[in-house]
Amino acid sequence: MTITAFIQWTPAYSVRNTVLDRQHQFVIEVINELYQARLHRRTALEFRAIFQKLSQYTRTHLAYEEKFLADNGYPEQEAHARLHQAMKIRIHAIEQQNETDDVDISQELFDFLKDWWLTHILEEDMRYAKYFENRSS
**DSSP character string of 85-101:** HHHHHHHHHHHHHHHHS
Query: Torsion-angle region of residue 38: left (phi > 0), alpha (psi -120 to 50) or beta?
Result: alpha
Res 130: pLDDT: 95
pLDDT bucket at 1, cuts 50 / 70 / 90: very low
List, for residues 66-102, the tens digit of each pLDDT value.
999 999 999 999 999 999 999 999 888 887 776 666 6
List, for residues 113-127, the tens digit of each pLDDT value.
999 999 999 999 999
pTM for the full predicted model: 0.89
Delineate the domains of the chain, giving CATH numbers in brackets.
Answer: 18-136 (1.20.120.50)
In sequence order, which residues have a C-beta less than 8 Å from that of residue 117 and are 6 or more positions away?
7, 24, 27, 28, 31
Residue in 103, 90, 99 with CA at minimum distance from that of residue 37: 103
